Amino acid sequence: PGGIGGAMKRSVARGPDQQLLEVLVLHERGERELGGFMNALNEQLMSYQVGVAQRPTTVEVPGDGRASSWVRAARNGIEDMLRRHQMETGKLARRCLVIAILPDSLPREVYSGLKKLTYVDFPVACQCVRRSTLAHKMGVARSKLVGQIVVKCGGWIWAIPAIKESLRDTETGNVRKTMVIGVSTGKMPRQQGVLAACASTNDEMTSYMSAVQVLPTPSGTDTLSVVDTFKEREAAFMQQCLPPFLQRFAQTNGCTPERIV
């Protein structure tokens, strides 16, 4: 937002709770932007108080432009990284990060292949950045890039103090522990219903827990019965989400919320 200056952003920013064990950087063989990017990355990570246990590890990818080459290199690099830190494959590796510098000419399949690998096969935070972005907008790109990394690793880059202050009780002066829950519905191809919910887990409302459920469209031709059935499933979905939402809130704040909005 335009009204928030850099000083205020830094004063309320918070990095991840735990130090990153390792950052893995994927790049095409002979990548000319690698040196400048690595220096800028280290500088920005320190400015946002993101600790890294060691210097980033680089992995070269053959310059054949094939998605399979990038996915294979990423898979090998991630497996080695998890093995070095004795982390179990398939478990969320929040303290590990993969960054990929992608040439502009690469097909879309490279990006989607890397995201599937890091979101499904190996739950590791992943950030992709195009070479042209680094070449022409390094000053802007590095700050925005590290901001996205901070968020993906569990921190936040800025908050608005007024939000927290608005929750303060006028009589006691204490901030009322408040959870904000948002619910949304939609449809996927083949008319499948989608339910999604998210809940804030801290006073600044910068951290959220989310849940998604895909529902098959109810059978039948009566429109009213279909709507009623969907509403019943939406209510049941919220009943399932609320206990883990409250549990996460209590883990973060040491108590359950005083009110839910």
Closest CA to 190 of 222, 217, 212: 217
Find the mean pLDDT for residues 52-77.
87
User: Model-level pTM?
Assistant: 0.63
Distance (Å, whole) CA 59 – CA 63: 13
DSSP string covering 154-181, please? T-BS---HHHHHHTB-TTT-PBP-EE-E
Task: Find the range with the poorest average confidence among 11-20, 22-31, 69-78, 127-136.
Answer: 11-20
Distance (Å, whole) CA 193 – CA 125: 28
pLDDT in tens, 183-220: 888 876 666 778 899 999 988 787 888 998 887 665 55
Evaluate whether 27 touches 56 at the Cβ level (below 8 Å): no
Neighbours of 164 (CB within 10 A): 17
Residue 143 has pLDDT above 60, yes or no: yes
Highest mean pLDDT among 35-39, 85-89, 254-258: 254-258
pLDDT in tens, 216-252: 665 555 444 555 567 788 888 889 999 999 999 999 8
Structure confidence at residue 4 (pLDDT): 43
Confidence of residue 75 (pLDDT cuts 50, 70, 90): very high
Which amino acid makes up residue 107?
P
Residues 6+ apart with CB under 8 A from 165: none
Structure confidence at residue 222 (pLDDT): 46
Give SS3 for 153.
Answer: coil
User: Which two three-digit tokens encode residue 234?
Assistant: 């939406």
CA distances from 202 to 5, 8, 180 (A): 23, 19, 10
Q: Which residue has the tokens 């502009």?
A: 104
Strand segments (E) across 78-201? 93-102, 124-130, 178-179, 181-188, 192-200
Find the mean pLDDT for residues 77-105.
82
Structure confidence at residue 248 (pLDDT): 92
Round the average pLDDT of the chain to a whole number and report it.
78
